[in-house]
Amino acid sequence: MKGSTYRRCSCRDPKSGKELGTSCPKRNSRNHCTYSVRQELSPREDGSRRSFARGGYGSLKAAQADLDHVRALLGLAESDDPEGTELIAEMLAEVSHERSPLPEVEETRRRLNAGQDLLGSLTVAEWLDRWLAGKRIRKSGLNRYETDIRIHLKPHIGGRRLDRLRVSHLSEMFTDIRDANAQILEDNTQRRAAIDELANVPWKGAENRARRKAMKAAIDEMPPYRRITGPATRQHVKATLRAALNDAIGQQIITFNPAAHVEIDPVRKPKALVWTDERVAKWEQTGEKPSPVMVWTPQQTGAFLDFVAKDRLYAMWHLIAFRGLRRGEACGQPWSETNLATHSLTVSAQLVQDGWDVETSEPKTDSGFRVVALDNDTVEVLEHHRAQQNADRAEWAAAWVDTGLVFTQADGSWLHPGKVTDLFERLVAASGLPPIRLHDLRHGAATLMLAAGIDVKIVSDTLGHSDTRITRDIYQSVLPHVGKSAAEATAKLVPLQRRTEAEQAARKAAKAAKKAKTKEKAQAMSKRKGKAKRPKK
């Protein structure tokens, strides 16, 4: 296809307004004219001609360089690849029309071979929309991704070109989020102070009423209470972006993932603590929990189970307390996967919340699919529960909702996981025991298994963890007597002179005490014998 460079004078006749072209008297003057290029492209499908044309070059060398660049791009498509030829021609025609810079040859080659758009104009927002539409995960997970994208990623970086996204852009985004947190906290403090001040203004009196009205109007103008974006949420936003960009790399749209290299504040997960007597005493005085994650002792767990023994869902509390099922797993456990004859159940489904709606779902991970062994007492509890459920089915008759689940509402319909949590909290409060969350009952089951000396791998499999490291990281707390036994066993491994001397002194003291006791016993026996031989008067 033909292509050329040429000089062009843009001077115009002042009367007609037409370009003078070769008749311009200054045409031969140095630096008066500019250079232009024109390269024929493959014709359109309707047969019409198209070309790449650009002018304004200050020198012939610059014009020739761009013409060579255009020809190099045209050479990327093989002669027997009409589709590739059409794509490149369409790209060059668009670049010519938009007067945008010529794309790099190697980048265009990579995009052409990967079947991607040849012009890298895809924005972060466009890619995130495309990525989210292609995800095939459960609805709650999609909603979490959508929230991260809508609230954080699009507003901060959505307008940037995907292939030009940098680590610095993400650092700026998280800095802006931290700054917004500071503003939210300040706004919340001001609103709270204004509401407290309003509460102290008397109702009676015209002056007070006018003041209250003005203060209410001022409060209405203030920003509403808002939640800050905490460290855990920021980590999730980063994880969402990182996953989306990894998929973009997999499709060869980009070659670098800046989300993998941006540094943000780490999340410090709270450690599980046991409700010892000292912690219970402090809680009774202050009402404060030592940690968001608290675990009952075996005695406290037993006291709770005794307290709720008559509750209709006692079997569920018992199962979570001893076998560590998650809330959704317990709510979604079917009888078809519960084999009391073999003392086992298979976790294969769960009920999850989407907002306040409930839907059934498979376990979140492969490790969530698992077989859980049941002890004799738990089997007996479940058998009693099944008998009670059969009685309820007969009582409800045609109105019974046959969901096939182990734990249901009184009419057989699904349990709402949120309502189960609310019920558990009410029962804990009524029992007078120190507070724990329903998920902490699962933590307690794990702690009991570890305290009983069960191998961490078995504990991890029972809980449905994908790695034993997760089990060890979460359940570092152990029951006090277990910790003391471990400390004593460790201390005995190190020989110390002072300990040896103390042990020797203790043995000597024990030996002397035993000898004195033996001597005292012998003297007492001798006295009794003397009295027996004394003659009667």
pLDDT in tens, 516-537: 888 787 777 777 666 655 555 4
| Mean per-residue pLDDT over the chain, rounded | 87
Cβ count within 10 A of residue 98:
10
Q: Residues 99-115: what's their mean pLDDT? A: 85
Q: Is 388 helix (H, G, I), strand (E, B) or coil?
A: helix
**pLDDT value at residue 484:** 60
Cβ burial of 406 (10 Å; 0-12, 13-18, 19+) is buried
Maximum mean pLDDT: which of 14-28, 383-397, 480-494? 383-397
Q: Give start and end residues of each alpha helix (H) in 48-205.
A: 60-74, 82-98, 105-114, 124-133, 139-148, 154-157, 167-199
Pairwise CA distance, residues 125 & 151, whole Å: 12
Structure tokens at 128: 């995130």
Say if residues 132 and 158 touch (Cβ distance below 8 Å): no
What is the β-pairing status of strands 3-8 and 370-373? unpaired
CA-to-CA dists, residue 491 to 232, 487, 494, 507, angstroms: 39, 6, 6, 19
Which of 33-47, 242-256, 405-419, 523-537 has the highest mean predicted lDDT (pLDDT)?
Answer: 405-419
Position 426 pLDDT exceeds 90: yes
- Structure confidence at residue 535 (pLDDT): 59
- Residue 332 has φ and ψ, to the nearest 5°, of -105, 10
Contact 337, 323 (CB under 8 A): no
Helix residue ranges, H only, 222-297: 231-250, 277-286
- pLDDT tens for 168-184 read 999 999 999 999 999 99
- Please compute the mean of the pLDDT values over residues 472-492 and round it to a whole number: 61
Ranking 39-48, 236-245, 399-408, 451-460 by mean pLDDT, the lowest is 451-460
Backbone angles phi, psi at 249, to 5 degrees: -65, -40
pLDDT tens digits for range 192-206: 999 999 999 999 899
Q: Encoding tokens for residue 349?
A: 């489904």
The predicted pLDDT at position 332 comes to: 95
**Mean pLDDT (whole number) for 226-236:** 92
The amino acid present at 145, given as its one-letter code, is Y
Q: Quick one: pLDDT at residue 455?
A: 83
pLDDT in tens, 55-69: 888 888 999 999 999
Phi and psi, residue 56, nearest 5°: 90, 10
Highest average pLDDT, of 22-31, 244-253, 425-434, comes from 425-434
Distance CA 117, CA 229 (A): 36
18-34 pLDDT per residue, tens: 776 667 776 667 667 78
Question: Please, which residues bridge with residue 51 across strands?
Answer: 40
Name the percent of the chain lying above pLDDT 70.
89
Q: Indicate the pLDDT class of residue 495, thresholds 50, 70 and 90.
A: low
For the chain, first and last CA: distance in Å? 153
Share of the chain above pLDDT 90, in %: 55
The architecture (CATH level 2) of 273-487 comes to: Orthogonal Bundle (1.10)
Confidence of residue 350 (pLDDT cuts 50, 70, 90): very high
CATH architecture for residues 124-260 = Orthogonal Bundle (1.10)
pLDDT of residue 488: 66
More confidently predicted of 499 and 181: 181
Model confidence at 268, in pLDDT bands (50, 70, 90)? Answer: confident
Q: Whole-angstrom Cα distance, residue 122 to residue 70?
A: 22
Whether the predicted pLDDT of 224 surpasses 80: yes
What integer is the mean pLDDT of 118-128?
A: 85
The yes-or-no verdict on residue 215 having pLDDT over 90 is yes
Mean pLDDT of 359-375: 89
Could you tell me the CA-to-CA distances from 212 to 34, 222, 223, 417 in Å, in that order? 75, 15, 19, 42
Spatial separation of the C-alpha atoms in residues 319 and 382, rounded to whole Å: 9
